[in-house]
Amino acid sequence: MKGLSFSTIIAFLFLNTLAHAQFSASVSKNPVAVGEQFQVIFSLSNMNGNNFRAPGFKGFTVLMGPSTSQQMSFVNGQMSRSISYTYILQADAEGSFQIGSASIDADGKTLRTNPINMTVAKGSTQQQKQAQGQGQDQSQGTLNKQADDVISKNLFLRLNVSKKDVYQGEQIIATYVLYVHPELRLVQLVPSQNAPTFTGFWTQDIDIGKLQFHTENVNGVAFNAAVVKKVVLIPQQTGKLTVEPFIFETVCRLIVQNQPRKRRSIFDDFFSFGNQYQDFKYNASSGAVSINVRPLPSGAPPDFNGGVGNLSMKAWIDRPKTITNEPVNLKIQISGNGNLKLVEPFELKLPPDIETYDPKVNDNISVSGSGVSGTRTFEYLLIPRHACEYKIEPVGFSYFDLSSKQYKTLTSQEFIIQVEQGTGDEAYQSISGVKKEDIKYIGKDIRFIKNLSGGLTKKSNTFLGSAGFYALFFSPMFLFLLFFIYLKRQQKLEGNQALLKNKRATKMARKRLQTAKLLLNQSNEDKFYEEVSHALWGYLSDKLTIPISELNKDSASFAMSQRTVGEEKIQQYMSTIDYCEFARFARSSNDVSKQNIYDDAVRVITELEGALR
C-alpha cells in the first residue's frame, strides 16, 4: 500500500507538470503592412527543453534572432520557469502567409507550436522604404550593440607597470598586454592615432618585435595574451603622475546566422543570425595607472647631476706624455642600469694653461625589458700650452643608488701629464722674467718701442710723380674693374641657384643662430632648439647642394667625406646635431647646457666652413 501510494503521488505530480507545461507561439501584431517589423515569440514553460528548431519564415525577412531569454518565479510557494526564443521579422510582400510550427525536445518528447496565419496588407511605397530603412538601421544598431557586448567580454587590454611608487629619475617599465578569447577571431589590430603623451616622463620605446601570443588564465578562463607595447618611463617631476591609457583599434569577425543549429561556441548564445561572417570594429582601451613619484632625499653631494640607478664610473687618459699644443684625450665612462641618457657632462678642474672644449659624447645604450642599460662616455680634448708637469684633479661622480637608497660618490685617480717643449712657433710661451726685454714676442706680431734712434731723412715736398699721385690717378680704373668683376659674379650666382645657396650658406646659418640667441635670452626653449637644428641642417643642405628632404646623417657624412672633410670634423658636427636633437626631447633646466649647444653650433659651422671652401 505504501509503495502504491508513493507511485500514485509521483504520477500525479508528473501529470500536473504536463498539464501546466506548454510550448506556444505568439506575434506582437497581426495584420502587418509590407515592410513593417514585428516579433515572433516561441515560449516553453515549466519544462527543460533543448534542440529548438524554428519554422520557415516564407514571405518574411529575419532581421534578428533567435534571442534567448529565461525567467524563473515563485508564486504562493510554487516555482514556475520559462524559456523563450524571439525573432524580429519584416513583411516582404502583400498577401496571406503562415508561420509554421516550431519544435523542441522536452523530457524525451517532441513538442510543437500551433502555426500562425499572418495577413500582410499593402503599404505605401514611402512607408515601405521608410520601414525597411528603419528596420535595417535598428537591426544593425542592435547587432552592433550586441557585438560590442560580446567582444568586450572576450577581448580587452591591460596596462601593467613594474612599480607604482618610485623616486624621481627611477625607471618604470610599462607593458600593454592584449587578451583575446581563443574562440574570438581577431582580424585587425592597429594602435590608435591618439597615442599617450606620457606627460612628466622621459620615454623610450622597447622593441617587442612580432606579436607572440601565449596562454594565460584570467579568472579561471584561458585567454591568448600578447604584449602589444612596452615602454621605459623615467619620471622627471615629483608628485602624482598618470600613465595614460593606450587604445588599439580592432576588427573582430563574428558568425551571423538565421538558421537554428546546435550550439558550438560561446558566441552562438549571442549571434545566431545567419550562416555568414560579419566584421565589427571595437576600440580596446587599457585604462590609466597612477604613479607616486617621490623626490630624491636631501643632502645630495655638490657634484650630483641627476644620475639615478646602479651605476659605475671609469676614467683614463690616452697618454701620460705629450708636447706643447698636442692634445691629450681624457675619457670618463658611466656604465650600468639607470637613466644614463640623462647624465650630463662633468665640470673638470684643470690648470689654467690647459685648454679644453665641450666633450664628445658616445652612447652605447640598449633598451630592453629590464630598462635602459649600457655606457655613456664623455671624451674631453685637453691641449697643454707650455712645457711642464700638469696635475689634473680626480674626477668625481655622484648618483643616487637605488639598491641602498643612498647617494654614492665615485672618484677617479689623479692624472699627471708630462709636457715637453714642441718645435716651431708656439701659440703660447712660458713667462719666466719680469723685464720687458726678456719677454719673447709671439709669432712676430708684437714689438716693443725701439730705444735706439735711427737716421733722419728729408721728406720731398713734390706731390707730382709721388706714390700718392699714381694711386689717385689709377684708382678710378681699378675700382671700375672691381665693380665689373663683382657684377659678372652676381649674374653668375643668380643663374646658378645651387651655387648661390652655397655662397649664402654661412650667412643664412649665422642669421638663424642670431635668432636662436635671442630665443635663448627669452627662455623660449622650443623655438631655440628648433632654430639651432634648422641652422645646422640648413647649412649642410645649402653647402653640399643636397635638398633638405633627402638629407640625413649618412648622406651628409658621405658628401662631406667626398669633399675631403676630416673624419674628426664630421664626427664633431654630427655629435652637435645629436646633442641638439636629444636636448629637444630631454629638457634641462641648466642654462649652461643650452649655451653650450649654441656655442657648439657656432664652432662646428665655422670649422666646417674652413674645410669646405
Flag whether 467 is in a domain.
Answer: no
Whole-angstrom Cα Rg for the chain: 43
Task: Identify the residue with better confidence: 250 or 144.
Answer: 250
With the CA atoms of 557, 560, 562 and 567 taken in that order, what torsion angle do they form, in degrees rounded to the nearest 10? -70
Both 165 and 245 in one domain: the answer is: yes
Q: In angstroms, rounded to a whole number, what is the distance separating the alpha carbons of residues 484 and 490?
A: 10
Q: In angstroms, rounded to a whole number, what is the distance separating the alpha carbons of residues 33 and 129?
A: 12
Both 265 and 188 in one domain: the answer is: yes
Flag whether 55 is in a domain.
Answer: yes
Residue 54 sits in a domain whose CATH number is 2.60.40.740
Strand order in the sheet with 239-243: 165-167, 289-294, 239-243
Residues in the chain: 613
Both 249 and 325 in one domain: the answer is: no
CB atoms near residue 391 (< 10 Å): 10
Both 38 and 167 in one domain: the answer is: no
What's the predicted TM-score (pTM) here? 0.44
Q: Please determine, for residue 179, whether its predicted confidence score (pLDDT) is greater than 90.
A: yes
Q: Of 76, 103, 123, at which residue does a domain stop?
A: 123
Q: In angstroms, rounded to a whole number, what is the distance separating the alpha carbons of residues 247 and 282?
A: 10
Q: Please determine, for residue 292, whether its predicted confidence score (pLDDT) is greater than 90.
A: yes
DSSP state of 528: H
For position 430, what pLDDT does the model report? 40
Flag whether 146 is in a domain.
Answer: no
Q: How confident is the model at residue 136 (pLDDT cuts 50, 70, 90)?
A: low
Task: Identify the residue with better confidence: 353 or 19.
Answer: 353
Both 365 and 269 in one domain: the answer is: no
DSSP state of 549: G
Region 374-399: mean pLDDT is: 89
Mean pLDDT score of the chain: 78
Q: What is the pLDDT of residues 562-604, one digit of tens each?
A: 887 888 888 888 888 877 777 766 554 444 477 888 888 888 8
Q: Of 420, 445, 473, at which residue does a domain stop?
A: 420
Distance between alpha carbon 511 and the CA centroid of its chain, in Å? Answer: 33
For position 448, what pLDDT does the model report? 47
Region 203-218: mean pLDDT is: 87
Flag whether 483 is in a domain.
Answer: no
Region 337-366: mean pLDDT is: 86
Both 228 and 276 in one domain: the answer is: yes
Q: Please determine, for residue 212, whether its predicted confidence score (pLDDT) is greater than 80.
A: yes
Flag whether 472 is in a domain.
Answer: no
- How many domains does one find in the chain? 4
Residue 357 sits in a domain whose CATH number is 2.60.40
Residue 559 sits in a domain whose CATH number is 1.20.120
Q: How confident is the model at residue 111 (pLDDT cuts 50, 70, 90)?
A: confident
Identify the bridge partners of residue 173 per DSSP, sorted by sequence position: 232
Q: Between the CA of residue 274 and those of 51, 107, 158, 236, 258, what are the distances in Å?
A: 17, 29, 33, 55, 4
With the CA atoms of 253, 259, 265 and 266 taken in that order, what torsion angle do they form, in degrees rounded to the nearest 10? 80
* Residue numbers of the domain that contains 555: 495-611
Give phi and psi for 567, each to the nearest 5: -60, -35
Position of cell 653631494? Answer: 301
Q: In angstroms, rounded to a whole number, what is the distance separating the alpha carbons of residues 61 and 40?
A: 12
Give DSSP secondary structure letters for 2-26: HHHHHHHHHHHHHHHHHHH-EEEEE
Q: Please determine, for residue 230, whether its predicted confidence score (pLDDT) is greater than 70.
A: yes
Both 173 and 285 in one domain: the answer is: yes
CB 82 within 8 A of CB 68: no
Region 87-112: mean pLDDT is: 87
Flag whether 471 is in a domain.
Answer: no
For position 439, what pLDDT does the model report? 37
Region 409-424: mean pLDDT is: 85
Q: What is the pLDDT of residues 15-74, one digit of tens each?
A: 444 444 588 889 888 888 888 888 899 888 877 778 888 888 888 888 877 777 766 554
Region 542-569: mean pLDDT is: 81
Flag whether 556 is in a domain.
Answer: yes
Both 245 and 334 in one domain: the answer is: no
CB 357 within 8 A of CB 442: no
For position 424, what pLDDT does the model report? 52
Q: In angstroms, rounded to a whole number, what is the distance separating the alpha carbons of residues 143 and 417?
A: 81
Helix (H, G, I), strand (E, B) or coil at 80: strand
Q: How confident is the model at residue 456 (pLDDT cuts 50, 70, 90)?
A: low
**Mean pLDDT lowest among 112-121, 136-145, 193-202, 519-528:** 136-145
Give DSSP secondary structure letters for 154-193: HEEEEEEES-SEEETT--EEEEEEEEE-TTSEEEEEEE-S
Both 320 and 272 in one domain: the answer is: no
For position 15, what pLDDT does the model report? 45
DSSP state of 63: E
Flag whether 148 is in a domain.
Answer: no
Both 315 and 233 in one domain: the answer is: no
Q: In angstroms, rounded to a whole number, what is the distance separating the alpha carbons of residues 309 and 343?
A: 11
CB atoms near residue 359 (< 10 Å): 20
Both 240 and 108 in one domain: the answer is: no
Q: Of 293, 326, 350, at which residue does a domain stop?
A: 293
Q: In angstroms, rounded to a whole number, what is the distance separating the alpha carbons of residues 244 and 230?
A: 13
Of all residues in the chain, what percent carry a pLDDT higher than 70? 77
Region 507-519: mean pLDDT is: 85
For position 263, what pLDDT does the model report? 47
Q: Please determine, for residue 3, whether its predicted confidence score (pLDDT) is greater than 50.
A: no
For position 378, what pLDDT does the model report? 92
Both 103 and 168 in one domain: the answer is: no
For position 436, what pLDDT does the model report? 37
- List Cβ neighbours of 254 (8 Å cut-off, separation of 6 or more): 147, 150, 151, 184, 185, 267, 271, 277, 278, 280
